[in-house]
Amino acid sequence: MKVAVDDGTRLFVDVVGPGVVARHGELVDRPSFVMLHGGPGYDHSNLRRFHMPLAHAARLVFFDQRGHGRSDRGVPGNWTLERWADDVKSLCDALGIEKPIVMGASFGGMVAQTYAARHPDHPRALVLHSTAARFNYDRIIARMAALGGAEARAAAVALWEDPGDPERLTRYTEHCMRYYTVGTPASDPRRVAVEVNLDVLRYFYAPGREGRTMDLTATNKAITCDTLVIAGVDDPITVIEEADALVDSLCNARVDYLRVERAGHGVHHDHPDLIRHRLKQFIKDHP
């Protein structure tokens, strides 16, 4: 279904599971677990594929962020962290969801940080998965070079010169995406996403734009809710040093830091049972 947020933009939303269940003769509210997909440019398909088992623990809310998937494209001027962050609260308001647990993966984690800093009283809790508070080009390039040598380094450099160029993305997929995971090879997101909008990727990560210049470490001081941070030690994109810096920036939140050895970008690919268990426990601890 499509749900309009405060400025009239319609977001494609998929809600899985009831919000209220009967227990011992009483109606009991279930927590809502709202998930923000990665990218930018891709939709929520990968999140849905992995996280559906969590429907036993919470009502799951998947949606394509504005400009992505089957949501309204809007104008590039609204493809910003603040607008995407405000959409989270506005969507929850439209759906009647109060005090959600919000999880952001990769790019979605940057949106989640911005949302929790701008609306600190809104989330019940926060999960930041394989993400960072700032873009560190030098560390990304160095990590790719260490993993894949000159070919991987050249492909990464070329991509970040023009992130939305299809040919450069194809070379990057061939030479670099194998290093996103330590065990099972990562899927090419373009083959599993329902819909792709590379214009968002090019706009957000173009040199000089927000994806390259952001530094959320200062505004993260406004985040006060319980936060679970999940990071792979071998992540070549949101590198572990930046995950450490992210944790340090959450100085006013109670943080549980799951730092996973032999795991890359998207720890759930390398350690699915561990991640599902920790997420279920985190949801249980924040009813």
Task: Label each residue of 110-165 as H, E or C.
Answer: HHHHHHHHHCCCCCCEEEEECCCCECCHHHHHHHHHHHHHHHHHHHHHHHHHCCCC
How high does pLDDT run on average in the chain? 93
pLDDT of 194 reads 65
**Residue 141, amino acid:** I
Summarize the confidence of residues 259-283 as an average pLDDT: 94
Looking at residue 252, what is its pLDDT?
A: 98
pLDDT of residue 191: 47
Q: Residue 266: its pLDDT value, please?
A: 80
CATH number of 2-135+214-284: 3.40.50.1820
**Is the model's pLDDT at 103 over the cut of 60?**
yes
- The CA distance from 200 to 42, in Å, is 9
Question: Strand 125-129 vs strand 59-63: parallel, antiparallel, or unpaired?
Answer: unpaired
Domain map (residue ranges) of the chain? 2-135+214-284
Residue 189 has pLDDT above 80, yes or no: no
Q: Find where tokens 């005090």 sit.
A: 99
pLDDT for the residue numbered 192: 52
CA dihedral 51, 53, 59, 60 (to 10 degrees): 20
| C-alpha to C-alpha distance for 62 and 49, rounded to whole angstroms | 11
What's the CA gap between 73 and 91, in Å, rounded? 16
pLDDT of 22 higher than 90? no
134-158 pLDDT, tens digit per residue, is: 999 999 999 999 999 999 999 999 9
Is residue 190 very low, low, confident or very high in pLDDT (cuts 50, 70, 90)? very low
Where residue 19 falls among pLDDT bands split at 50, 70, 90? confident
Q: pTM here?
A: 0.95
> Please, which pLDDT band fits residue 184 given cuts at 50, 70 and 90?
low
Please report the pLDDT score of residue 146 as a whole number.
Answer: 95
Q: Helix, strand or coil for residue 87?
A: helix
Compute the average pLDDT of residues 237-252. Answer: 98
